[in-house]
Chain A
Amino acid sequence: MSLAHTLSLIDTQARMSLKCEASRYFLGYLWWLLEPILYVVVFYLVFGVLLDSRGMEFIVFLMCGKLPFVWFSKTVVKASSSILDHAGLIGRMDLPKAMFPLMVAHEGLYKQVAVFALLVAVTLGAGYRPTLAWLWLVPLIAANYLMIVAISLAAAFVVPMFRDLVLLITLTMTLLLFVSGVFWDARALDPAVMELVFTLNPLAFFLDAYRQIMMYGLPPDVPHLLGLTVFFGTLLAIMFGLLHRYSRFLALRALTA
């Protein structure tokens, strides 16, 4: 299977899967926007109305954290079981196993376009004005996607080997929700502690970078961003290699485990 064909197949599969999902609900594709809008409404009710004190700024702060976090967690959780989910297909064709988590990630990317559009709209609506620093969103989102894809591939590789890991991955997402600075500001920490958090938890770095760019017009820590890109680029290459090398073993696990 040529690379061009594989890519076009991944794209078609992802779009068909989105179509499939949309057809299940009466409001169909509208849910792409409705779901993140409902997040915002919930945040607004809880933090804007009930807790009153924090205002629109905190809502934008939360959205910059929560929406990219959901992108990451949903994609990785779904990708982790993607090879097992396609056992029927795997039993009939020798397909590259990386295709399955890539399909999930690609599907998530399509949806995330709508989510980021909403994030930008709310940020502008809250009175923030775009600056040149907003151009940093392009490499930031690209690096964030690279991280999501690399971790999705790793999750899809380990789960057929040891299925119980699905539960651990879900649990890890809950843990990450609390330690990645979705609800609190990493900048409020002692600078040394903040550096440590950003180094150990790339997700915390990304969420903070979205805020720095969109709320304060500040560029991200470029060497850190480059470092993460190299790290996840390497992880991605390793995972492609492992998924290729153990392709038939993964097929056996998917069919028999």
Chain B
Amino acid sequence: MTMAERRLLLQLKDVSLSYQARRDHFAQGVHRVLDGVSMELYQGETLGIIGRNGCGKTTILRVIAGILAPQGGVVWRQPGKSCALLSLGLGFKPALSGRDNALLAAMLQGSSRREAESFLNDICDFSELGDSFDEPVKTYSAGMKSRLGFATALKTRVDILLVDEVLSVGDVSFRKKAQEAMESHVGGAQTVIFVSHAAPQVVRLCDRAVWLDNGRVAAEGDVSAVVDAYEQALRGTGRNTDATVKSPTLLA
């Protein structure tokens, strides 16, 4: 099936976004995050967005999810299609138990209270928290928090799933399990936009890729060609990928 035959779910045309960044008292600078970005997303595909830290990856997901409005350009989403960011630890309150936080997060992700309650056992099992599930999240280690966050986030059911650097959670064995769960979630009929600075993940998961650089689309199309160009540019500028800099927590 060619791209043209597939159903267009989402289209960005010449999208720009900037905001006032305060430099000093009474002095404002303009920070341009997205500069004329255009892209399309088709039903059932997994689109990768790759780029360095600060290139506008998170912002573009926020624009797509309808959290932010672009100042220029058009975002078109097929009417009636839902769209959400897969978020770890959505609004976690440290003083509440893992159970309460999971309930709240599942409700924020669109589940009714009853549905959310029915998820709790699954979330407890998947996150391997055991008795700690009923203890306050402030007593959790960072790994436990990410596991709870990931298990809760897996319950998101939307037409377009937006994933931001989600696989770098927990210890090695949990990461493997998370990766498998993620891949089975991503595979099949689910339409996904997957954002990462890590080329291998994008190559493995995505059908198509967009390379974002300084708020502009530097390349798009076949995933291996785009990733090659991205890696070449990184080598060319002598910069490393920001894997070492970026913390594993998401959109914090």
Contact = CB atoms under 8 A, between A and B. Distances in A.
B93 A93 contact: no
Interface stretch (B62-70, B176-184, B230-238): B62-70
A39 B29 CA distance: 49
A86 B92 CA distance: 11
Contacts of B69: 248-249, 252
B103 A93 contact: no
Interface string B47-85: 000000000000000100111110000000000000011
Interface of A: 1, 5, 8-9, 12-13, 16-17, 19-20, 23-24, 86, 88-95, 248-249, 251-252, 255-257
Given A8-B107, A12-B104, A19-B100, A89 B62 contact: no
Contacts of B112: 5, 8
Contacts of A93: 65, 67, 84-85, 87, 90, 108-109
Given A23-B136, A256-B20, A248 B67 contact: yes
Nearest to B94: A20
B107 to A, nearest CB: 5
A90 B251 CA distance: 11
B59 to A, nearest CB: 9
Contacts of B103: 12
Contact of A94 (B67, B96, B109): B67
Contacts of A86: 91
Contacts of B31: 256
B73 to A, nearest CB: 14
A116 B24 CA distance: 48
Given A23-B95, A251-B67, A256-B20, A91 B251 contact: yes
B65 A94 contact: yes
Contacts of B104: 12-13, 16
A91 B67 contact: yes
Nearest to A91: B251
17 contacts: A16-B93, A19-B95, A19-B96, A20-B93, A23-B95, A88-B91, A92-B87, A93-B65, A93-B67, A93-B84, A93-B90, A93-B108, A94-B66, A94-B67, A251-B67, A256-B20, A257-B22
Contacts of B21: 256
In this complex, which of B22, B68, B69 has the most chain A Cβ atoms within 10 angstroms of its Cβ?
B68
Contact of B96 (A23, A251, A256): A23
